[in-house]
Chains A and B, each alone.
Chain A
Amino acid sequence: MGSLNLMPAVVQAVQVLTILMGAPLVSGVVAKIAAGLQGRRGPRILQPYYDLVKLFSKETLIPDNSSWVFLIAPIIAFVCYLTVPLLIPVLTTFGLPLGYMGDILGGGFILALAGFSVALAGTETRAPYAQLGSSRAMTFGALIEPTVLFVVFAAGIITATDLPYSMAATVRSSASQIVRPAHILAALAFFMVVLTDTGRIPVESHSGTLEFGMIDEGRTLEHSGAPFALLKWGSAMKQLILYTILIDVFVAPWGLASNTRLISVLIAIPALLVKAIILGTVFAVIDNSFSKLRLFKITEFLAAAFLLAALSVLVFYLGGG
């Protein structure tokens, strides 16, 4: 059984399924660990799945004056989140058949399209908090964009390609690739991007119910029923996708399958989930150790991320570091 070879297309489907089915699990485990750090018992690990099942069976309410955009946006976002795992190294060290249809920037654009459609739906409701969340999410999204671009530039000039697979291969190739400042700075900058994009503590309180502090969470306040389930599932998937990019491209691209044998793919799935949970624990510790930044101080945080990313490119380009 160990030598059974899978078709590349099957492995690719398994990549998407891993993100799809694993995302609520990672969220659940991280929520449990975060609760443990605060001395609470916390929800069950499988709670996110129960939430999704419950939401899918609830009725869908549509605000007055909103159009089809309100209903189609969660589906577009969900499809976007299903597309990105085709492009990034989730389980394998090599690109699968559809893996080369877009580069790192392409993946970034698809994630941005998802964020845009959710924000559009939020704006369309004409409800104050959803609009507030949407406008903030777009503002900070625009401010984090230069950082993302510079991280992509850094990965691009280190590997002379723009494929996430070759960045991961470069990191694996030797220890000197890991300690070089261009790599460490780009990884740190991307870490801060993930912190911002998943709505974690220095930027946004992850589990709060206070509307005034909301950014990403605020956008979906008006949604209910199945579309809301898709949005919640989508945001869990977005989190796991970003974790996967950070882990499998920049920080720890080990434990991936280097061939299509069944056994190596089967090992790669729990390896990814465990790494994602470890990273999630790091985020939970950050959640517990820092306070939320005031809204107008978030730009300082984003400026720091941009500084790291820009320095990464500079050090490489001018110093060969």
Chain B
Amino acid sequence: MHTPVPSAFTGTSNMIAVLVLLTEFGMFRAPLLRSQLRLYALQSFLVTILAGFLAISHHIPELYALGIISFVLKVLIVPYVIRRFLDRAEISLSDDRSLGVASMTLLAMAVSVVGFFTMNSIHFDSAALPTAALDISMAVVLVAFLLAILRSDVVSQAIGFLSLENGVSIASMVVASGLPLVIDIAFLFDLLVASVVFGLLMRVHHARAKTLSTENLDRLKG
């Protein structure tokens, strides 16, 4: 089996996409909410780098604008908002350990394999980014789902949703890097709205339950 060697451009962009996936795994495993948040900022930064890399190599000026806006929004503002909430809540450790390390890692790997396989069977040829980035973005989305499902504290669930958006934005770069800027910006403002809503929900939940855990919500009836 000899597949052709990918070009340096393909290799680098795949590598950045893989790093995004690795930060997703890191968030999935991080016990400290603060380090989870830091990983989210790092992941958003990597997505920004990928956008910038794509903009330079393919001369797509819209992507510069997108990169700058997503940097300000996802690397600076959103982490700041959640960080301030964490500072006020004075809870730093996510206390749930529903699954062991090995099973969590294996589960996340299995899920990302599913992502790889499904996207790989589509045979999508992109003009801008290698197809492998699309596979990886699907894996990021699925692991983000897992993060939001398995971790039972509000901050992790919010971060799971936000990082899901990072996976989607990589996918959108692969599928439609020439997308009109307006649509991308609309997506980003959706994210801003989502983070405001999440901030509000987290604050209300913390004020009512005196904890970040959502386990007591599972027991509600009616």
Contact = CB atoms under 8 A, between A and B. Distances in A.
B102 A181 contact: no
Interface string A162-195: 0000000000001111111100110000000000
A185 B9 CA distance: 17
A303 B105 contact: yes
Interface in B16-37: 17-18, 21-22, 25, 29
A319 B29 contact: no
Give the secondary structure class of A's interface.
helix
Interface residues of B, number: 33
Interface stretch (A107-115, A124-132, A275-283, A309-317): A309-317
A184 B14 CA distance: 11
Interface stretch (B79-87, B112-120, B192-200, B211-219): B112-120
Contact of B14 (A178, A181, A303): A181
B131 interface: yes
Given A176-B5, A303-B105, A307-B109, A318 B120 contact: yes
A221 B105 CA distance: 35
A175 B12 CA distance: 10
A181 B109 contact: no
A113 B56 CA distance: 52
B1 interface: yes
A299 interface: yes
Contacts of B4: 320
Contacts of B6: 176, 180, 320-321
A59 interface: no
Most buried by B among A178, A299, A304, A307: A307
A87 B3 CA distance: 27
Contacts of A70: none
Contacts, number: 89
Given A176-B7, A176-B11, A321 B18 contact: yes
Interface string A141-177: 0000000000000000100100000000000001111
A160 B1 contact: yes
B2 A185 contact: no
B101 A179 contact: no
B93 interface: no
A160 B11 CA distance: 19
Contacts of B11: 176-181, 321
Give the secondary structure class of B's interface.
helix
A184 B6 CA distance: 14
A177 B5 contact: yes
A306 B105 contact: yes
Interface residues of A, number: 28
A300 interface: yes
Contact of A314 (B5, B105, B116, B130): B116
A319 B2 contact: no
Contacts of A308: 22
Contact of A300 (B2, B3, B29): B29
B136 interface: yes
A297 to B, nearest CB: 9
A181 B8 contact: no
A319 B1 contact: no
Contact of B101 (A177, A185, A303): A303
B132 interface: yes
Nearest to B15: A181
Interface string B127-138: 000111001100
A304 B4 CA distance: 29
B18 A315 contact: yes
Nearest to A160: B2
A319 B135 CA distance: 7
A10 to B, nearest CB: 35
Nearest to B105: A303
Contacts of A181: 11, 14-15, 17-18, 132
Interface of A: 157, 160, 174-181, 184-185, 299-300, 303-304, 306-308, 310-311, 314-316, 318-321
17 contacts: A160-B2, A174-B8, A179-B15, A180-B15, A307-B105, A311-B21, A311-B109, A314-B112, A316-B3, A318-B116, A319-B120, A320-B3, A320-B130, A321-B6, A321-B10, A321-B11, A321-B18
**10 closest A-B pairs (Cβ-Cβ)?**
A319-B132, A180-B11, A179-B11, A321-B14, A176-B8, A181-B18, A318-B116, A303-B105, A321-B132, A181-B15
